[in-house]
Chains A and B, each alone.
Chain A
Amino acid sequence: MTIARVQTLTDINTDTKNLLGGDNLEAVGLSCVRDDRVLFEDLDFHLTNGQVLLLEGHNGSGKTSLLRILCGIRMSDAGSVRWNGEPIDILGADYYRWMIYVGHLDGIKLDLTVLENLEVSRSLGQASDLSLSAALAKVNLAGYEDLLGQSLSAGQRRRVALARLLVTVNRLWILDEPFTALDQSGITLFEQLMTQHTQNGGMIVLTSHHTVSLEHVEIHRIRLST
């Protein structure tokens, strides 16, 4: 049983950003029990614009469960998750409007073309100004619009899943092992996208086995261990 703690920024910085009308994601006293094992309890953190939270821990330590609790898909056993002060289970769609989740599964339909997949993803959120083709170009899949999902490699499908992050207007990215199946160029590309996102005021919560290196971005870490 462990108590997880996070290194936070100085409070002055946080208050300044809030004064500027920023967004924040807050976890208060979260705990998660699975199969009678307490994965974590009394977990707190505070995340605001431009910050990245990296969850570390061995397999089975509860990282995915924590991410799913932050998404509101899984109920926590105690505590709450707040977006701009309001609990997310009350906010519902008002929270989902600002966040995107890319989990283990790509969420890509193999029998649909890349474009058709992204069309649906875009319509489920607030559409951004970026066209679908431009979004594909940003993940180095320009020209792949009309290929069926099943014709893509695992790495390419992952990049389509990541392209979803670009086709909607959002502030918070919640990512579970986003670098899976990506080759080195894919990893570098995505790290650039992450940097851009945070520089534009976005926030990211992610898990990753791979070492994440982002220029000029504050990465906070929480270690979950059993």
Chain B
Amino acid sequence: MSDHSLSTAFYFLLKRDLTLSIRRRAEAVNPLLFFVIVITLFPLGVGARPQLLQAIAPGVIWVAALLATMLSLDSMFRSDFEDGSLEQLLLSAHPVSVLVLAKVGAHWLVTGAPLMLVAPLLAALLGLPSQGMLTLLITLLLGTPVLSLIGAIGVALTVGLRRGGIILSLLVLPLYVPILIFASNAVELAATGISVTPQLSLLAALLALALTLAPLPTAAALRISLS
């Protein structure tokens, strides 16, 4: 199969998923709203002490990002599974792992990337110093795609199950721990003015690893779920 037709397939699949998200705008906004609400709950829960909120801000934002991504994962393959499009993907002339990348890419653009738009505002509400804002954005840029990529493995394993969403969190959240640790630490240190190149490099390495490795078990898991 020529590279041209593989990239055509990638393009049309990406375009299809983005078009679907645009046409169902209301659903696409839900994870973002969830992100905002969860972060808002923390001051209500722990008290509005500025120093406390500032200390927990990086962790809170990142945990909220994890949970918001988790909630949105199910939509990655669910409707394709139900209307028969997923079968067609597995029966295509192109490698499934590349098609999976297109779907994960569309998912990230719709659910992960918007978090970057809103996060600085919410971070300011929690009192994160402006020194940390850029690092916050960089960690989200590097980290949220990894969340989508690893999450895709979990969704692929559970898409055929009736109540797969419940198990999905158990499967995926332990795998998210490293990203959470490196990202929130990076933001915390950056807020105090310390250089965080090591942490960001680690996040970039995790992203590279996830981009190359994650689509393969995802494709295998999709085949298993559809058999």
Contacts and interface: CB of A to CB of B under 8 A. Distances in A.
Q: Are A and B interaction partners? A: yes
Nearest to B82: A105
Interface range on chain A (Cβ under 8 Å from partner): 20 to 34
Main secondary structure of the interface of B (DSSP, over half): helix
Interface in B83-97: 83-85, 87-95
A107 B9 contact: no
Interface in A111-130: 111-112, 116, 119-121, 123-127
B91 A109 contact: no
A74 interface: yes
3 pairs of A and B residues whose beta carbons are closest in the complex? A105-B84, A124-B92, A107-B84
B88 A124 contact: yes
B211 interface: no
B19 A112 contact: yes
B20 interface: yes
B12 A120 contact: yes
Contacts, number: 85
A209 B84 CA distance: 21
B125 interface: no
Given A101-B88, A111-B24, A125-B92, 10 more contacts: A73-B87, A73-B227, A99-B91, A105-B82, A107-B83, A109-B85, A112-B19, A120-B16, A124-B13, A127-B5
Contact of A116 (B9, B16, B79, B90): B16
A107 B90 CA distance: 12
10 contacts: A72-B91, A73-B87, A97-B1, A104-B84, A105-B82, A107-B88, A108-B84, A123-B8, A124-B99, A125-B92
